[in-house]
Amino acid sequence: MTPPPLHAVLSSQRLILSTPQSKIHFALLGTALVDALGGPAEFHRRFTFPFVDEMTENANFDEDGEPLRKGVWTDDTSMVLCLGWSIATFKSRHGLGGEAGDGFDEADQLDAYVQWWRDGEMSAIGRCFDVGNTIANALRTWTALTEPPRSKLSGESLKPFAVSTLFSRKSPSSADTRNNADRQSKQQRALQKITKDISKPAFSGNGSLMRVIPVGLAYYRYAVGQKGAFDESGDRIVRALARRSSTTTHPNELCQEACEVWTGAIVRILHRCEAAAVDSTPQFSKLDLLQYFSTFPYTQKVLQDALAITLPPESSSKPEVEEYYWTHHPLLLKVSTSAKQTVSPPSSAPAISLPSGDALPSTGYVFHTLIAALYAFFASSSFEEGAIMCVNMGDDADTVGAVYGGLAGCWYGCNKSESSGLFWSERVCRWNDALVKKDLIERVAKQLVEFSDTVKRN
């Protein structure tokens, strides 16, 4: 086959190093940017809508009778913010400390999702204007069985980010203890019913994958060992938390494994950023990340068939590994085939390489979303290029974009002063200028940074 174009050589595309704190910020920002960019293309078949390369109004939903204004992000980002907020503040709100998994509580996460769904908290426009069927099913079950409190996440009257004053607690009375025990019993029954009712393959949507990125951002330090070494046991802890985060609304095994493998990728990126300060290991490349996805111990056949590949013994050097991947890996075969069929945009945006919707579906099925987001990441060489690929896929474009945007924001993101241009292009700056409620995204990112700084293995 024809060798890949120079920009697609994966071993030369290296992780843009920055502080883990900066990467957390860019992971959330990247999620929101591509979510908002892709919103107008949602529900549309590929190649049937105008080429998307700038923020535009979203006519799929309305705000006061008018299309959503440009820069409005959707349910994907709202749920990311809910999960991030829950993880970052649960410990301080409940006086916990010192245990693995601090901050992680499925009931608290579901309460946060309910407050978004029912009250519009963590929404770009103050109300929930879109929610997936599986998520709605889970939240209806949760509210019916637990009756969660109606405290707010982000309203002006209740400021969740001032947790030291808002959530200060008195010593519990015996009545409080009984009430807590009763509520915990209800919560356990609700979680069991969610698992029983929506674990089948029919419920394998992308609603847990789209929001999972805060897990890796919050807990990546479990995988940072002494002198920057990668701690495999700590990595397993974080991936297990990702699976648990899925079970609140998507207990299906495929959904859990998609969240697990995606979180492992985020952990590896942040580990390399932290370890780079203390060791001289060669810089992490896209080839290294593809090897992670290719060697992951999948239990779900559909993921195994699409991503797992065994290298022959003679493939020892990076050029040999990459050559083998380009000629044998199912994902890179899609990339190399579609590279011959580039789509030229009617503007100054970069030409993109997109297969047909049949060859690379971008539906709400979690497998399709994961593969489409990975395609955009490995077929592109900048944040902007991959984002434009995602949103022009149509169908569930906003969610594919959000999933890609979190990973790519983590990979390319850095401050403008240290920018290589791979994140902060002129077009991405325009997207950022149009993005709504950046202050809310910043506040949750700050909470996650502060929380991640406290995370240490016992």
Residues making up the binding site for Mg(2+): 396, 398-399
Q: Which contacts qualify for 185-191: CB closer than 8 Å, 24 or more apart?
A: 186/145, 186/146, 186/147, 187/106, 187/107, 187/145, 187/146, 189/145, 190/110, 190/141, 190/142, 190/144, 190/145, 190/146, 191/106, 191/107, 191/247, 191/248
**Rounded distance, CA 404 to CA 34, Å?**
8
Pair of tokens at residue 20: 């883990």
Mapped onto helix, strand or coil, the DSSP state of residue 128 is coil
User: What phi, psi does 453 have (nearest 5°)?
Assistant: -65, -20
| DSSP assignment string, 400-437 | HHHHHHHHHHHHH---GGG--SSS--HHHHHHHHH-S-
Nearest-CA neighbor of 19 among 440, 382, 413, 405?
Answer: 413
Residues 6+ apart with CB under 8 A from 440: 81, 122, 154
Beta bridge partners of 343: 352
Pair of tokens at residue 117: 């769904």
What dihedral do alpha carbons 297, 353, 345, 56 form, nearest 10°? -10
CB 388 within 8 A of CB 349: yes
Nearest-CA neighbor of 406 among 251, 215, 250, 234?
Answer: 215
Beta bridge partners of 42: 395
**Rounded distance, CA 38 to CA 401, Å?**
6
User: What phi, psi does 51 have (nearest 5°)?
Assistant: -55, 135
CB 243 within 8 A of CB 256: yes
CB atoms within 10 A of CB 146: 21
Residues in binding site: 396, 398-399
Pair of tokens at residue 7: 């920009």
The Cα-based distances of 191 to 108, 420, 455 in angstroms read 12, 46, 27
